[in-house]
């Protein structure tokens, strides 16, 4: 199979490329990435000489390069997105351009060149949030996004479905819970906390830390996407999660313990506007229909992730964004 992976220099996209080339040495992977702050070719250094891998610097909003690449492949796996809530809250237009219009360009190209297989990566944030400890998001849960990033993803999800229903494009969609693992940008909560502690800096915990997330190790996510791409039913949506729920405070304390630090390293900051309280995924459909199961235990995967960041300081130190750190310090004072 020949794949076009959009956003393949980002966190999940680069892990997916590594996964595919290792599991399917005869597959080809074309990687289209704009190389914004979240795209990093260092993520793919080990496969640069692989003849089955080709990188193309470009924007999914650029119809010319999108058409050129989609024409040559069998399937599109679409990761590229503006995904950081705080950045998108500061500038919502970037989400409209990339997450909606970029997705539209890819769908049009897939349709134009013989209806190429199209898999769209989405998020559990499109469902809004759960206000109690009860219940889970299923594939049938109504969308109720509460901030700009998930609103843009919700719009693109429905646009993808419209191309299936109206145009007959062979699509699938996956909505995943929070990912973590190697190559994740240090602005995200787990790598931010790990790298701050390595640098002897306090960790900025939103509000009282009671917000709850379902965590998914990135390699488990990649295995699920691969399964959906090759065996998923056309037109269907699949939720991907582990049912490992933990509050942000509990997560913080796990990271502190693994790094030998105490609660004095927590800096409580003003809560994020529109901060969803709980996400919890019901992944029974992909487990029952496709036989997927997560491979990794959360505590073991978290410990391995910490070791990776300890061993790869050169990778993340040059990604630490001073301007964004200043934003955190300015806008989230102590509570």
pLDDT score at 129: 86
Q: Which member of 33, 59, 82, 124 is catalytic?
A: 124
pLDDT score at 255: 98
Q: Which member of 59, 125, 157, 219 is catalytic?
A: 125
Q: Which two tokens stand for residue 279?
A: 């996400």
Query: What's the pLDDT tens digit per position in 94-106?
Result: 889 999 999 999 9
Cβ neighbours of residue 2 under 8 Å, at least 6 residues apart?
27, 28, 29, 30, 72, 73, 74, 75
Q: Which two tokens stand for residue 163?
A: 């191309």
pLDDT score at 332: 46
Q: Which two tokens stand for residue 221?
A: 């996510």
User: What average pLDDT does range 151-165 have in this prediction?
Assistant: 97
Q: Is 185-212+244-277+298-331 assigned to CATH 3.90.25.10?
A: yes
pLDDT score at 318: 87
Q: Is 125 a catalytic residue?
A: yes
Query: What's the pLDDT tens digit per position in 181-219?
Result: 999 999 889 999 999 999 999 999 988 898 899 999 999
Domain boundaries, the chain: 2-179+215-240, 185-212+244-277+298-331
Quickly state the pLDDT bin for 333 (edges 50, 70, 90): very low
Q: Is 124 a catalytic residue?
A: yes
Query: What's the pLDDT tens digit per position in 259-308?
Result: 999 999 999 988 777 677 788 899 999 999 999 999 999 999 999 999 99
pLDDT score at 87: 78
Question: Which of 20, 37, 141, 158 shows the shortest CA–CA distance to 86?
Answer: 37
Q: Is 2-179+215-240 assigned to CATH 3.40.50.720?
A: yes
Q: How many CB atoms lie within 10 A of CB 87?
A: 21
Q: Is 313 a catalytic residue?
A: no
pLDDT score at 301: 98
Q: Which member of 149, 206, 244, 279 is catalytic?
A: 149
Quickly state the pLDDT bin for 325 (edges 50, 70, 90): low
User: What average pLDDT does range 124-130 have in this prediction?
Assistant: 90
Global pTM value: 0.92
């Amino acid at each position: 199979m020949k794949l076009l992976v959009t956003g393949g220099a980002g966190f999940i996209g680069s892990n997916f490329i590594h996964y595919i080339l290792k599991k399917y040495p005869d597959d080809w992977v074309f990687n289209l990435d704009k190389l914004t702050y979240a795209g990093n070719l260092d993520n793919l250094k080990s496969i640069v000489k692989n003849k089955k891998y080709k990188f193309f610097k470009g924007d999914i909003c650029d119809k010319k390069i999108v058409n050129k690449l989609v024409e040559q492949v069998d399937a599109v796996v679409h990761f590229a997105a503006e995904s950081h809530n705080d950045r998108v809250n500061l500038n919502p237009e970037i989400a409209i351009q990339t997450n909606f219009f970029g997705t539209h360009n890819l769908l049009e190209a897939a349709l134009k060149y013989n209806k190429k297989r199209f898999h769209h990566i989405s998020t559990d944030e499109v469902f809004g949030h759960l206000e109690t400890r009860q219940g889970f998001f299923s594939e049938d849960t109504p969308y109720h996004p509460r901030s700009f990033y998930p609103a843009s993803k919700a719009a693109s999800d429905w646009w993808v479905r419209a191309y299936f229903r109206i145009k007959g494009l062979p699509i699938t969609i996956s909505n995943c819970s929070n990912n973590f693992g190697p190559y994740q940008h240090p602005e995200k909560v787990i790598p931010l906390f790990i790298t701050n502690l390595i640098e002897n800096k306090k960790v900025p915990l939103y509000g009282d830390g009671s917000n709850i997330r379902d965590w998914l190790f990135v390699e488990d996510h990649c295995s699920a996407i691969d399964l959906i791409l090759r065996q998923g039913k056309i037109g269907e949506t699949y939720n991907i999660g582990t049912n490992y729920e933990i509050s942000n405070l509990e997560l913080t304390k796990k990271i502190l313990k693994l790094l030998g630090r105490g609660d004095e390293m927590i800096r409580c900051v003003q809560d994020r506007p529109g901060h969803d309280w709980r996400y919890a995924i019901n992944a029974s459909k992909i487990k029952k229909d496709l036989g997927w199961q997560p491979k990794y235990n959360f505590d073991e995967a978290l410990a391995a992730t910490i070791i990776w960041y300890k061993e790869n300081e050169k990778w993340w130190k040059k990604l630490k964004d001073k301007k964004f750190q200043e934003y955190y310090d300015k806008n989230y004072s102590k509570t």
